[in-house]
């Protein structure tokens, strides 16, 4: 009885989840069941946020090296962003749950806006990469970085709260199954099981 009570307490401790979300929605764009989008997304995030850093470096030093580096960061960020967005769009369009919650459209539209801002930022530097950094390029880079923070949070909500694009484990979704990755809950369960065994032995 103590084991079941502990299990129930662990399951009820987190945010409420609708019954159709107790199991994960697997990714449509995957290799060997492993979702592609989470593998790709760190690259545009790294390149586009680095652009803000190199813009600040040029602003503070006036060294043309940093202005040229910003251009390359934008090019790489856009290229990798388009690839990541393609995989993300496949999941967004094929998994109804991704469109059901507000964080889904926020993630999708926000990242599309990130790509649009980055393209505008790159085009603004086409003729004179140094002159375009301050203030326009720097402002666009800052806006892009801030928006990436919002869309990254929304993406995390989709995966960890709504279980979109996850690999389902054996036994997931069963009434007595613990939420995937709930190490604390499993520890409590094992602890109670040992206590019951010791009590019965005594």
Query: Is the N-terminal amide bond of 135 cis, ω within 30° of 0?
Result: yes
Q: Are 1 and 134 in contact (CB under 8 A)?
A: no
pLDDT at 118: 98
pLDDT at residue 27, as a whole number: 81
Q: Are strands 34-35 and 30-31 parallel, antiparallel or unpaired?
A: antiparallel
Q: Are 154 and 99 in contact (CB under 8 A)?
A: no
Predicted TM-score of the model (pTM): 0.72
Helical residues (DSSP H) of the chain, grouped into ranges: 2-13, 37-40, 42-61, 64-94, 96-100, 103-124, 138-156, 183-201
| Tokens of residue 97, six digits | 């749950």
pLDDT of residue 25: 76
The predicted pLDDT at position 13 comes to 45
Q: How far apart are CA 135 and CA 143, in angstroms?
A: 12
**CA-CA distances (angstroms) from residue 55 to 42, 64, 104, 127, 145?**
20, 10, 31, 16, 12
What pLDDT score was predicted for residue 164?
A: 86
Do residues 50 and 73 touch, judged by C-beta distance below 8 A?
A: yes
56, two tokens = 């600040």
60 token code pair: 């503070």
Q: Which residue bears the tokens 């019951």?
A: 196
26 φ, ψ (degrees, to nearest 5): -70, 155
Amino acid 33: pLDDT: 80
Q: pLDDT per position in the chain (202 positions), as tens?
A: 554 564 455 345 444 444 455 567 778 788 888 889 999 999 999 999 999 999 999 999 999 999 999 999 999 999 999 999 999 999 999 989 899 999 999 999 999 999 999 999 999 999 999 999 999 999 999 999 999 999 999 999 998 888 887 776 655 444 444 444 455 445 544 555 555 555 555 5
- List Cβ neighbours of 140 (8 Å cut-off, separation of 6 or more): 117, 118, 120, 121, 124
Q: What is the pLDDT of residue 80?
A: 98
Sign of the C-alpha dihedral computed for residues 85, 91, 94 and 98 taken in this order: negative
pLDDT score, position 202: 53
């Amino acid at each position: 009885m103590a084991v079941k009570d502990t299990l129930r307490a662990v399951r009820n401790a987190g945010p409420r989840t609708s019954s159709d979300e107790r199991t994960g929605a697997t990714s449509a764009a995957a290799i060997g069941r492993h979702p592609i989008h989470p593998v790709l997304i760190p690259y545009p995030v790294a390149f586009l946020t680095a652009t803000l850093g190199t813009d600040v470096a040029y602003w503070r030093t006036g060294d043309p090296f940093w202005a040229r580096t910003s251009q390359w960061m934008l090019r790489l960020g856009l290229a990798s962003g388009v690839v990541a967005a393609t995989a993300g769009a496949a999941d967004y369009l094929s998994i109804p749950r991704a469109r059901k919650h507000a964080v889904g459209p926020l993630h999708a539209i926000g990242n599309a806006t990130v790509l649009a801002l980055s393209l505008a930022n790159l085009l603004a530097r086409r003729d004179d990469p140094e002159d375009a950094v301050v203030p326009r390029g720097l402002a666009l880079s800052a806006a892009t970085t801030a928006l990436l923070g919002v869309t990254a949070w929304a993406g995390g909500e989709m995966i960890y709260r709504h279980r979109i694009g996850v690999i389902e484990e054996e036994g997931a979704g069963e009434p007595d199954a613990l939420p995937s990755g709930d190490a604390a809950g499993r520890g409590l369960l094992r602890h109670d099981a040992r206590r019951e065994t010791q009590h019965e032995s005594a």
